A and B are shown apart, each in its own frame.
Chain A
Amino acid sequence: MQPSNRSSRILLPAKGWFIYLSLFVALGLEYIPTGRTPGVPDWVALVLAVWCIREPLRIGMGTGFVFGLLVDVGLGAALGQHALAYVVLAYLVNGLARRLMWFPPLQQALHVLPMLLASQVLMVVVRMIAGAEFPGWSYFLSSFTSLLLWVPLTYLLLLPQFQPVERDDNRPI
């Protein structure tokens, strides 16, 4: 069989409930009131990007749209603002998923950074057209903290897939 990524490990398929649980946990982290502290990562965007790379057939623009709306409602932002950003993010990451799987996590993070920045720029443009004030350059810091979190987060989200359901020493995984 032709390999589809560089990793020599064969992983179990991700469980549906685990994917959605991780997204809801990210939503909870997103809702933590941090005020105007710069550099708080966009947890939902981050987890969404990880799953868009790992499970491009299951997690994509639809999931991004729904969770974007949930973020909008929870944060009191304009309805559709995060949804738009996440839909575009999911489109970009889904499109590059096959390519990204060939890179180690650190280089994946460098690929994801411009896409996260693009989604933030989109939100700024949409809100500034609607008459809001520019939130300051520190707003874009959150993409860079996301960059730092990419490697540990990818590892954390892949952890349940590393272990087989029942142990069998004669089996490769």
Chain B
Amino acid sequence: MSLVGHKPPPIFRRGPAPLVRLMLFVSVCLAMLVSDLRFRYLEVFRHAMSVVTYPLQMAAATPADVVRNASVYFATLVEVQRDNAELRRQQLGSGERLLRYELLQQENAHLRKLLEMAQRVQTRSIAADILYNAPDPFARKVILDRGAQQGIEPGLAVVDAGGVIGQVTRVFPVQSEVTLLTDRNQAIPVQVERNGLRGVLFGVGQGRLEMRFVIGSADIQPGDRLVTSGLDGVFVPGLPVATVVSVDREGDAFAGIVCEPLAGVERSMQVLVIGRVDLPPAPPAPAPPVEKKKGKGR
């Protein structure tokens, strides 16, 4: 008697074999990983899923909030008084500098008008606190306590008192995620403050930065300060980023330039999110071909 055509009774029916199901799920996971990490297609899906996870995340953040608030609550009076005195002294200093800055800004605007140059980019800034390191141990990211409701947008630069620490990469309603400069996937266009030489700064992990695609014979030396060039149309130009630590001109056509961030990238707690008020018009045409020629000449 053949069993072909007889289905097993419902209590024994368990769907496809485990190995088949494993292969199915693994291929779905791999497809998702590729489309998320390579093409960033799944941000919409992520937003939809966060509707479910958000209340739970808010609830889970409470213990961390309690710990943070408790440390503020139990700060001693002496500490607060000392901080206060320090801040007053700093404010005096910065007030005086601000006066001079405003004077210089007016003078600069006047001179630019005289020379018929374009006005410098207007900026806006939002102060924020770093809440905690992002939980993903594979990336160097932090979470800020300001989000879309306070006007944070993806792509804005984040600075502390020393210079740029990173860039806003993801925005939630009342929080946002900042990718630090030292993350392996983070790049920032910079120029040497001394002579305007342009390049791109990459994170290489272990808290170090590397300036790539600068030819070996370029005029760059240890101790040079790097500032944002603003050529990307996202960052505000002129923000301090890093200092050059060592330049290796041996090896292939490009120099190996190791840099050290000026800001306390992995230490700072209070930061400023800086953005342009409006995107500037397209950059002047002659600038990019110069870069390209450099690249071809290797």
Contact = CB atoms under 8 A, between A and B. Distances in A.
Interface residues of B, number: 46
Contact of A80 (B32, B170, B206): B32
A26 to B, nearest CB: 11
A9 interface: no
Contact of A79 (B42, B141, B205): B42
B21 interface: yes
A contact residues, range: 35 or more
Interface string B17-38: 0100110011011111100111
B128 interface: no
Contacts of A91: 18, 21-22
Contacts of A128: 138
Contacts of B139: 132
B150 interface: no
A80 B56 contact: no
Interface string A12-37: 00000000000010011111111110
Contacts of A32: 60-61, 63-64
Contacts of A34: 135
A101 B53 CA distance: 33
Interface string B254-268: 000000000000000
Contacts of A127: 138
A94 B18 contact: yes
Contact of B33 (A27, A30, A84): A84
Nearest to B185: A131
Interface string B167-182: 0001000000100000
Contacts of B32: 79-80, 83
Contacts of A132: 138-139, 184-185
A87 B134 contact: no
Nearest to A36: B133
A69 B49 contact: yes
Counting chain A CB atoms within 10 Å of each CB, the highest count among B26, B57, B131, B137 belongs to: B137
A81 B141 CA distance: 17
B60 A61 contact: no
26 contacts: A24-B56, A27-B56, A30-B60, A31-B53, A31-B57, A31-B60, A32-B61, A32-B63, A33-B60, A35-B132, A35-B133, A36-B137, A65-B28, A69-B49, A73-B52, A74-B57, A76-B134, A78-B138, A79-B32, A81-B33, A84-B26, A128-B138, A130-B33, A131-B185, A134-B205, A135-B138
